[in-house]
Amino acid sequence: MLSYLAAVTAVVSAAWTSLMLGVATAGLYLRLPDSRWLSRAVTAAFALSAFLMGLLLVGGANLMTGVLLGLAAFAAQMLAALVLTHGLPVTDRIHLGLAQQNGITAIILALAFERDFPGFVAVVAPAILTVNLVYVLANRLSDTWGPRRPLPSEPR
């Protein structure tokens, strides 16, 4: 019960003070026993924030800059994961290097920064699409041709 109360308090206080990074940080430490409702809430928040971001794209998107930003973000994730996971098995390092989030934090930040930096969403929206597309393609390639974990029944 205390976990649920802490989660609700973190979300409400973050929304009230616009500290979305606070929710992300709380997620590092707070684990709910049953998180099915949380998964649905994140999916709904992602859809709503993507819709709101789309409303801001009336003036168009800056595709080239957005694609380059998305590729740079994906490369930075790969590099950071590969450096920080030194010593782990190669399979784990590759999977962590190819791991990406769905972009809800980027969308929320873009919506917040658009007010102060007009055109911010025009760059971030294509970047989010690029990161998600590269994520899907890279993970499909890794699953098809990459190193595999031995099955529990196989000798190591």
The pLDDT profile of the chain, 156 residues, written as one tens digit per residue, is 777 787 777 777 776 776 666 666 666 666 666 667 767 777 787 788 778 778 878 788 899 999 999 999 899 888 988 888 888 888 888 888 888 765 777 777 787 788 889 888 899 989 988 988 998 898 888 888 766 655 566 555
Nearest-5° angle of CA 25, CA 87, CA 77?
45
Q: Does residue 136 fall inside a structural domain?
A: yes
Identify whether residues 95 and 51 lie together within a single domain. yes
Identify whether residues 25 and 72 lie together within a single domain. no
| pLDDT on residue 15 | 67
| pLDDT on residue 71 | 93
| pLDDT on residue 21 | 63
In angstroms, the CA 90 to CA 78 distance is 13
Question: Maximum Cα–Cα distance for the chain, whole Å?
Answer: 58
Q: Does residue 57 fall inside a structural domain?
A: yes
| Number of domains the chain is built from | 2
| Residues in contact with 38: Cβ distance below 8 Å, sequence separation at least 6, in sequence order | 7, 32
Total residues found in the chain within this entry = 156
Range of the domain at 2: 1-34
| pLDDT on residue 123 | 92
Identify whether residues 59 and 117 lie together within a single domain. yes
| pLDDT on residue 27 | 63
Identify whether residues 51 and 116 lie together within a single domain. yes
Identify whether residues 99 and 23 lie together within a single domain. no
Identify whether residues 76 and 1 lie together within a single domain. no
Identify whether residues 77 and 131 lie together within a single domain. yes
Long-range contacts of 12-15, Cβ-Cβ distance < 8 Å, separation of 24 or more: none
Identify whether residues 107 and 129 lie together within a single domain. yes
Identify whether residues 19 and 55 lie together within a single domain. no
